[in-house]
Structure 1
Amino acid sequence: MSSSTLTIRVDDDLKRGASEVADYYGLDLSSVTRAFYKQMVNTRRIPLTFAPDEPSIESLEAIREGDAFLSSGEKGRFDNAADLIVAAMA
């Protein structure tokens, strides 16, 4: 099997950040790139998602509850955010 060299240009910060992630998993960027290409070939897809993360059903329900509470004009259990944080830390 012959091999080829691929040269890509990326911003220094992007490379540094990617290297940190790869290092966390015990890999180098060359290994990650080869794995990415293998995944593309094996699945016949580009293994990326460009869609924004969707909130879970539980999160959507909490958002609805919060919106409904704010719309109701009712007073909450805390007078301000600092009191809420103090209670949460107790």
Structure 2
Amino acid sequence: MSDGHRAQLGAHVLLIEEEYGVRPPHGFVVLGDGSRVRVENTAKLRSTVLAIADQIREHRREIGREIPVRQPAAKCRACGQRPNCGQARG
């Protein structure tokens, strides 16, 4: 089971807690092979999920910031993001 699976379950647990006012003690992740893995709802899981949410918010705040590029004009002309780029060349 991946860390992503744990984080996703942690996010669901937070949503359940927010919606119903009850903190589930654990949850289950069902893997591709059908097996179920029990994941405890710990303070560490909660803090991990909240830290990921903070990182997402930070990245979203900076999404409009331009990333400096130094590409040859030919690459710029072929780029699918050219209409969104203030640095397009050629």
Same fold flag (TM > 0.5): no
The structure where helix makes up a greater share of residues is 1
TM-score where L is the length of structure 2: 0.25
TM-score where L is the length of structure 1: 0.25
The structure where strand makes up a greater share of residues is 2
